[in-house]
Structure 1
Amino acid sequence: MTTLSSDIMNYKISLITPCYNLNKIESNKQNLFYESLESVRKQTIGYENIEHILINNGSTDGTEVVLKELAQKYSNIKLLSIDENTGGPSIPRNMGITESTSKYIMFLDADDIFEENTCEVLYNEIENNDVDMVNSNYYSFDGKETFKHVSRFKGCNVIKPKSADSMNFMTFIWTAIYKRDFLVKNNITFPNVHAEDISFLTDCIISTKKDMIVLNDFYSYLYISDNNSSLSHSFSKKQIIEYLDIYQKCINKIKNTNQDPLYLSEFYNFTVIVAIGSLIRSNETKTNKYELFNLIKKYLENNKDIPFELSFYWNFMIYLIEHEQKKLFFSTSKFIQSVFEQNWFRKLFRNKNYIKK
């Protein structure tokens, strides 16, 4: 690892951005990294108050040259470089946490965009309330239109430690701000696997002894959902196995720290939907799908003591898994997947969870 340090000064926020083959990130024929960078430079808190940590994660397309030029141009940019790609953003993010010098930490993916007042609003909220973390809401861009994510809560939601509402904080790592000392003291880092953000947020929720604040009506972040280079759009055997492993570890942590049973139940509901939904959308071979089917069945068996409340569809799919009805499960899955791909269904799902900006 090599480091090109920023000038030593007191920054308000350390902003961590992993970078990999930036020239390949395109949407509507525009390089998103430069839009992302510009959204940080325009922050109302003042770019000079942000320690901008850029981590080159083993890029092979000249990204290192671009980042070095930026580090020479802007004194507040700290450039870290990894010789070989680590396979995901976890190790770069952990390096960023270690190398950060500010009181607070935020994350931004290289292909997403901040609102102009994102840093200022979140900084003021966490500074004025002396909490360990503050979260917010986000926009999603599908390649044509921008939509607002619909939260089940409104306004400023204050969540007590070990509260039944803890799941409300479980959105995304990049819509939040965190106290650096809190992360370091509790050794909260990202595991180098898929679902690393779920593990990170779970550790934050179960470790804090202070209120958690969620600004449900503050839309701080634009998530570019049509970006083909995003890892979240594919569901391989490896990815689903790692999901299940992380989910089980999180459930065990939630149980061991005596969290509210409703939080545990809602977390479990979420993981079951993601795991089964990922299997439905997987393009793996029949043999691999059957293996994943059995692993999800084992996951359900291991957590049968956790009450859950899901819709008829998910309960039906769970029934098929529990009773080892593989053929019926996958034939049903094939039909459901064909429905998922229909424009009318996508619009129906989107209208339930998002509204136009």
Structure 2
Amino acid sequence: MTDHHPAASGTPAGAADVPDVTVVVGAYQAMPYLVKCLESVEAQTLGADRIEIVAVDDGSTDGTGEYLEEFAARSKVATRVVRQANSGGPGGPRNKGLSLARGRFVFFLDADDYFGEEALERMVAMADRAGTDVVLGKVVGVNRGAPKSMWKKTVEHADVYASNVKYTLSAQKLFRRELLVRHDMSFDTSMRTGEDALFTLEAYLRGSGVSIVADYTCYYLVGRDDGVHLTKSGSYAIRFESARRLMELIAELVPAGDRRDQLMVRPFTITLLPQFGPVVLGQSREVLADKFTLAAPLTAAHFTPGLARRLKPQDRLRLTCVALGKQDALLEIAAFLKAGTSPETVRGLRGEYLAYPGFRDRATGIPDTAYQLVGRPGRLRTAPDGARRRARKAARRARRIAGRALRKLGLRR
């Protein structure tokens, strides 16, 4: 381990020497992206004397470790370099960096990415002004996509439950270190995916609040040309494990009711639902059966009516099929969705429905509520007296379309 604390930043040891921010940089095979990453830390308007870097080289063989040593020797930003054997994931380097951090705040900066020049100054000012423990700075993708829905406006105290902050659970946030220390928080290195979501959501829920800096691009999320750090697909089983852990955290920290349902939408739609889309049409029945088995305890414990009403009809319908163990019905719906056909809207006494396959088919046994259009959470759209014949006709048409798609895919004779 190499430590460099330049005289240029030389305030006396003790409380006055505590930097505002520790930037933790976990780096693996990070060249040449690491150069711009570290330059963006040096360029911060917050000032070199208010920042420290803890950089962890996770067993790189491309010169990453050597470059970190060189940077630490010449930079005005106090930099500590740790070189260790490869840990197999980002959680290990982040945990090491966190254990060495001294700053009032910690920011986990990926070695491929970089800051906007005013990022840390703006985020620290926000945290100090609002008294919040987590600050989200606007993220923009470079050669890749990035989350967008949560950057509509700057907010001092975001509603974790009702707002879209729950849809950005990556680790690239400003965290108050006292919160992390008080709750002994760290990244779970046993998880092969989703450890950052678990860490970040816990901070959201245990902290004093979440702020959003949306009027300035704080973070540039870089897609590498070589694709080295693209998320690996991995086994579907690890996705179910990631969903399970996130659902259990929510259930542990949020009492049953509307707020819990609001948060549960995230793991159900972002992590679980993609496993039951058109992808199932190209997988074996054995794999589908295994997915249903993995999902069963999750839907049994957490798929509540309040949660279901918050979902889009096609999402609610697919998850209802999973919850009820309706594999054949799910395949028909997946084929219908892949065919790209819009379902007919049917009006009934109790509201409006989208006639996806299985609608009002007694043999399928899926309740009408799975197909129902919903207005505000918990309130159904009312409609004029409805049309049973139209409903049956639309359901038959949906089944024919799904049947044709399944035959085309070789899943039905």
Q: TM-score range by the shorter chain?
A: 0.7 to 0.9
Contact kept in structure 1, 2:20 and 2:104, CA below 8 Å:
yes
Q: Matches of 1:284 and 1:54 in 2, distance apart?
A: 42
Q: Matches of 2:338 and 2:62 in 1, distance apart?
A: 35
Gaps of 5+ in 2: 6-12, 341-413
Change (3 A) 1:35 1:185: same
User: Secondary structure of 2:231's partner?
Assistant: helix
One-letter amino acid of the counterpart of residue 220, structure 1: C
1:352 counterpart residue number: none
Change (3 A) 1:263 1:109: farther
Query: For residues 175-223 of structure 1, what are the alpha-carbon distances to aligned partners after superposition, in whole Å with 9 as ceiling and x for unaligned?
Result: 5312211210111211121211221122212222x34322344431122
Query: For residues 18-70 of structure 1, what are the alpha-carbon distances to aligned partners after superposition, in whole Å with 9 as ceiling and x for unaligned?
Result: 111124xxxxxxx3222222222221112343211111112233322222222
- Residue 182 (structure 2) pairs with residue 185 (structure 1): yes
Q: What is the root-mean-square deviation of aligned Cα atoms in Å?
A: 3.1
1:345 counterpart residue number: none
Q: Matches of 1:338 and 1:18 in 2, distance apart?
A: 43
Give the TM-score normalised by the residue count of structure 1: 0.78
State the 1:226 CA deviation: 6.3
Contact kept in structure 2, 1:132 and 1:212, CA below 8 Å:
yes
User: Secondary structure of 2:110's partner?
Assistant: coil
Count, aligned residues: 321
Contact kept in structure 2, 1:169 and 1:212, CA below 8 Å:
no
One-letter amino acid of the counterpart of residue 264, structure 1: R
- Residue 220 (structure 2) pairs with residue 222 (structure 1): yes
- Residue 49 (structure 2) pairs with residue 53 (structure 1): no
Contact kept in structure 2, 1:237 and 1:288, CA below 8 Å:
no
Percent pairwise identity:
18
Residue pairs, 1:144-159, within 5 angstroms: 149-151=148-150, 154-159=153-158
Q: Matches of 1:72 and 1:334 in 2, distance apart?
A: 59
State the 1:230 CA deviation: 3.0
User: Secondary structure of 1:299's partner?
Assistant: helix
One-letter amino acid of the counterpart of residue 133, structure 1: V
User: Secondary structure of 2:53's partner?
Assistant: strand
Change (3 A) 1:139 1:263: farther
Which structure has more relative contact order (CA 8 Å, sep 6+)? It is: 1
Query: For residues 265-287 of structure 1, what are the alpha-carbon distances to aligned partners after superposition, in whole Å with 9 as ceiling and x for unaligned?
Result: 12211111121214545997764
1:135 counterpart residue number: 136
1:296 counterpart residue number: 295
2:79 counterpart residue number: 77
Residue pairs, 1:164-243, within 5 angstroms: 164-165=161-162, 168=165, 171-192=168-189, 193=191, 194-208=193-207, 210-225=208-223, 228-230=227-229, 232-243=231-242
1:265 counterpart residue number: 261
Q: Matches of 2:57 and 2:338 in 1, distance apart?
A: 36
Change (3 A) 1:217 1:262: farther
Runs of 4+ in 1 over 6 A off after TM superposition: 282-285
